[in-house]
A and B are shown apart, each in its own frame.
Chain A
């Protein structure tokens, strides 16, 4: 797969999202495109805390228009919204694939008239964003996601069509980021005043080139350049400044981290819900290509559970793995593995606060992406071409060790499959030491040792 591989995608909105005067207040009309229907209409309600929600949507808009690392002509991919009875979730992903954001607006944030189910794209145009900036807490604001057929049939609206090339790495990142969330651990929760002081103390302009460490200080947080056990690793502190507009109105700030991967998530807690900002381990490394799912995909222990788990999805705000286990007779680990794979296919997201997956279906052609997992594809090819040779194998299950020779481009690599972690002699492994997922040689060795043929 080339670096520029992309999926052609067309947003076709029946009108442009806008904020228009509506009686004594204003109406925030979000145009929708894609999903189960061409232009679904599944939410209408009055915002209880309009300024807070406007701030969250504006921050989400900043995320999707941001690019913290060079390339890509793509500037903005519209956010997606998922609605169910309990929560309205807006998700966005930066063009550089290194920042994921989600605004989870709870049912208490609305006086809802219509609360349907589904996932779709929403138009976040510049005019609407500018208007959102002027929303005030005292306004009476009605939010609608989509529009009813009567309104659309009036014919006064102008269709907005946007053709974009969605880079495969962007779509992959958007889906794989869910796998990271499942591994996050809550490190700190600080009150709003301390959060404000911390965000203010972040470097203006270019931050440090080396990792920084967020460490506790009294009731608050401090940015340090020294690693410590209690600290959360951050690189690209300019990405954290996306939170700045949210901090004055939030109640507290939670910091989550996955020490193994170096990912961190920053969750601003509001009266109206929560806003999660998740940043990748390096500015130049997006969430795609991290290969967090590859080992799991290569093992295949999730496959029997997948159809059963998928059948259980019904737009839940919280997928209850225990309940599925009880109904299906499957083991909890199998269900978790199947949910993780479904996450990689864009069919579920992960809510770190709830500690559970939620059902949502990204309105993109994810299957086309999955087939492009380059490392796994290459690994299967190595097996198919007979370039994998098992020289030693001892033990079984988790205690299994094996020495496998895998033919590389110019030399033969030695792969050691070990209970404490696999090792390979290739440059990818030498450079990343397994932190960015298994290399194709390790995957090929695993496939060969598990007895999987290339066709599987």
Chain B
């Protein structure tokens, strides 16, 4: 029993105090205990502390009282676990406990508390002021003081922070330490400095103005404050300016400003430059040390800061003309800046220095930057360089890419005329001679050979290979070719039953079961997920479970699912044979001769249930989907041979295939296969006979689809966050519900409804693989997907980039939908999509499919809606394309000019980005301003950057007779077109000797 204030305290009573949450009684009970008495109760207190959270009532004061008991009774071993957080609990009982006890571990405990982000700084300050714990010297004490604004409450409307600090008195000396330590990643001054009386800036200003803190010292200390976090560092810059230093005070602190020029924080550099400008305007700059310090600021990415640095140099040159050469040598670093404006300012200084005569050192400094100089500044710098080199010739520099070898006439003549004409070689030769413009290359995709031996796909050869590749595919599958090869492998090799089948496939079955259990599979028609089910059905020799009809009927993936279902029905019946739709060549093409052979295989096979399998021609079985898919993948090559070989194929299937190959067959009774056959025969042709027999079948049936589109700027909120602008594309003729049937995949592709939120790379590639001859519908869907995520970062759940994949096949024509998908990709914030867009545009320019002239109307139409086209993003993206070669720069300039001409009035606010890039492009390519751009430029009546650039563009006159750039560009274009023509010619000759390789067994 222990006497506490006249009453005895037992461990049981202590427990009662704690469990009742009676802090006052507890504190009173512990107040006069000596250390030995406290030790006796320590065990009980520690036990209570350990059990403090048993009561889950959030409002309970039991945990707080348990903490008090530990602080009042226990040793450091237990006390170190007590944290007194800043919020929610009264500090008075804690203070009384610690004051009464003054434990030997108190300083250690305070240090531990300060290390905690939620430290109760007012309590600690009170302990310090009362002398209960020692004065704190640690950085964390200062950090917590700054973070908590010295314990001042934001809601205390009566007392400003300055008054609060004055009341404390002693704390004023501690305030200087705020200037001395680095707060690291802690955001101490976020939102400070807005003049609010509770802000640190107001408080420090008030104390400096009243003389309680030295203003002089604060002026210097704010410049030497060490902060690595940008907003903390910016706070001190703002404080410095708020102290309103005079010019003389700034001059005295020049060295500090110069030191800040090396700061890694751009805002701090900008602040230092502003201060140095004030000093420069007073003519009191210390030039030499300034020149040694300011170089890195000229290379800052932020144009404003680099411009300010150049301005300081201009003032330095004005103040001290005798040091102009040294100033110019420093300014040479600014020639590497991406902005023509910064380069222009630096070039002026260099020109002034060059007027003084030769200077090899300066010339060498400029030489190092020549590769980065923009076209508008280059001639001036080159002229200055010539003067600096004592009159040597002007250097001939250009875009870094090596000029292509000029194609000889003999080389061109050697190409068969058919391919030369189709590849646009002749018109390019004319353009090279100056006999006309060079339009983008348009060609009939069915007139060019697609099947080369280099593009042939090797079918899966053995059962072991099938198991290995299926094992890899169930983990990750992103390639549409591999997907089809696997389906074909299952179709052909699943019947090869081996004695060790179960043992060999047990790991795969085990894995696929786990993946299906763990995955998000319910309701998804993603091809990769469905493939796992297919593998399981093969290994368990069970057909796939029926897929809900509404799912298969909703989208084109339903068609893919039905193909897999048909295959799974066949697997347990040991009916192995080739998959009709498996591509024989990359790009999802099927050699027509191969398809004829495959169909014949099935028709000839004597199997039970023949009507179901061998009777593809009956169209009464699920394999009809495989047949339809196969028709849509027929390559244009070898059709005549295939047609000749297909004469004996039976039934409607044989007739449909012959029709697809160009045969003269009457349209049959099943619309699905005949639509596919018609589209395979002529992707862009019209088939009135289909309408006569079956009525209106929708887009890409009897008539090829065309597209109408419009962009909407609205933001649609969803649970996934704000969506971007929307693109609405409508196929013409429009898709009606009665056009949608499971065997009409093109109708689903043309439905073009809401973009997917969750998709996979395989999904996008499978979409493009449905109809390789005309991926317009796939591009249209892709354009909608990309625009819906226009301003969102990359996402693994919603990939969009792979929509562009078909464009990397140089034989995919640049249709309107292809251009639209690419145009929106180039605007995307998603670095992956934008990057692939850049790659695609580079490829299109290189091989002739884009010369830039059709793009203006697309961007003009997109830009007619606010929020859709950000011209700064477009210009930056196109700049990456322009860097590749003279041809690319020429094409990009045409895109920019076309876009400008297509913009509607009033011009957008960010037009200056476009004008600046166009200005550079026209100078670099020595082209005049196209007349169609004049109206919009003449309509600019405002002042500022846009007006200045508009004026420059209107006044632009290319040097007469300067066609070096154009010639270089046309030579590259010619090389690209000749390469294309040669490739086609080579393919044609190779295919004449190639034998069809049957993979049916």
Interface status of B237 (Cβ within 8 A of chain A): no
A225 touching B801 by the CB < 8 A rule? yes
Chain A residues numbered 186-201 whose CB sits less than 8 Å from any CB in chain B: 191-194, 196-197, 200-201
Partner of A209, one of B506, B507, B832: B832
Q: How far is the CA of A134 from the CA of B504 in the complex (A)?
A: 66
Q: Which of A192, A224, A408, A426 contacts B835 (CB 8 A)?
A: A224
Neighbouring B residues of A129 by C-beta, 8 Å: 228
A430:B794 contact, CB within 8 angstroms: no
**Total of A-B residue pairs, C-beta within 8 Å:** 145
Distance (Å) between the CB of B943 and the closest chain A CB?
31
Chain A residues near B302: list those with CB within 8 A: none
Contact status A200-B338, CB under 8 Å: yes
Q: In the assembly, what is the distance between CA of A203 and CA of B467, in Å? A: 40
Contact with B along A15-55 (1 / 0, CB 8 A): 00000000000000000000000000000000000010000
Q: Which of A138, A209, A430 meets B511, CB within 8 Å?
A: A430
Interchain CB contact under 8 A, A425 and B476: no
Contact at B400–A423, with CB atoms within 8 Å? no
- Contact A430:B292 (CB < 8 A) given known A218-B401, A224-B839, A226-B836: no
Residue ID in chain A nearest B183 by CB atoms: A126
B226 and A130 within 8 A (CB): yes
Task: Render A210-245 as a binary contact track against B, CB cut-off 8 A, 1 for contact.
Answer: 101000011110111110000000000100000001
Report yes or no: B831 in contact with A203, Cβ–Cβ below 8 A.
yes
Q: B182 at interface (Cβ–Cβ under 8 A)? A: yes
The answer to whether A425 and B508 touch across the interface, beta carbons within 8 angstroms, is yes
Chain B residues contacting A222 (CB-CB under 8 Å) are 880, 883-884
Partner of A425, one of B226, B227, B402, B507: B507
Q: A residues within 8 A CB of B184?
A: 126
Most chain-A Cβ atoms within 10 A of its Cβ — which of B368, B475, B808? B475
Q: B77 in the interface, Cβ–Cβ < 8 Å?
A: no
A301-339 at interface with B (beta carbon < 8 Å): none
Residues of A within 8 A of B728 (CB): none
Q: Are A136 and B262 in contact (CB under 8 A)?
A: yes
Q: A225-B801, A427-B511 are in contact. Are A412 and B503 (CB under 8 A)?
A: yes
Would you call A248 and B794 a contact (CB within 8 A)?
no
CB-defined contacts of A212 to chain B, threshold 8 Å: 832, 835
Chain A, residue nearest B508 (CB): A425
Q: Taking the nearest CB of chain A, how far is it from the CB of B270, in angstroms?
A: 16
**Central interface residue in A131, A207, A217, A430, by most chain B CB within 10 Å:** A430
Rounded to whole angstroms, the CA-CA distance of A426 and B472 in the bound complex is 10
**C-alpha spacing A136/B370, complex, angstroms:** 26
**Complex CA distance for A210 and B833, rounded to whole angstroms:** 10
Let me know if A413 is at the binding interface, CB within 8 A: yes
**Chain A, range 123-162, C-beta contacts under 8 Å to B:** 126-127, 129-131, 133-138
Asked if B474 CB lies within 8 Å of chain A CBs, one says yes
Contacting residues of chain B (549-602) with chain A, CB-CB under 8 angstroms? none
A205 at the A/B interface (Cβ < 8 Å)?
Answer: yes
Q: Is A433 an interface residue (CB 8 A)?
A: yes
- Residue contact B880 to A201, C-beta cutoff 8 Å: yes
Tell me whether A414 is interfacial, beta carbon within 8 Å: yes
Which A residues are in CB contact (< 8 Å) with B832? 207-210, 212, 225
Q: Taking A225-B836, A411-B510, A412-B506 as contacts, is the C-beta distance between A200 and B292 under 8 angstroms?
A: no
Complex interface: stretch among B293-301, B536-544, B692-700:
B293-301
Question: Does A206 sit within 8 A of B, measured CB to CB?
Answer: yes
A420 at the interface (CB under 8 A from B): no
Give every chain A residue within 8 A of B880 (Cβ-Cβ). Answer: 201, 222
Cβ-closest chain B residue relative to A203 = B831
Question: In the complex, A191 Cα to B371 Cα: how many Å?
Answer: 10
**Nearest A-chain residue to B507, judged by Cβ:** A425
- Residues of chain A contacted by B301 (CB below 8 angstroms): 200
**B368 contact set on A, CB distance < 8 A:** 192-193
B898 within 8 A of A: no
* Also in contact, A133 and B511, with CB within 8 A (given A196-B336, A226-B808, A412-B506): no
8 Å CB contact of B400 from A194, A208, A245, A414: A194
A223 proximity list for chain B (CB < 8 A)? 835
New A-B contacts (6) at CB < 8 Å, excluding given A133-B262, A193-B371, A248-B336: A133-B263, A193-B370, A203-B831, A203-B835, A248-B333, A427-B511
Leading 4 A-B pairs by shortest Cβ distance: A218-B400, A208-B832, A203-B831, A430-B471
Residue ranges of B at the interface with A (Cβ–Cβ < 8 Å): 181-182, 184, 226-228, 259, 262-264, 289, 292-293, 296, 299, 301, 333, 336, 338, 368-372, 399-402, 467-468, 471-472, 474-476, 503-504, 506-508, 510-511, 761, 793-796, 799, 801, 808, 830-832, 835-836, 838-839, 880, 883-885
A-B contact pairs, 15 of them (CB 8 A): A126-B228, A130-B228, A134-B262, A191-B371, A207-B832, A209-B832, A218-B400, A219-B371, A219-B400, A225-B801, A248-B299, A248-B336, A412-B507, A425-B471, A430-B511
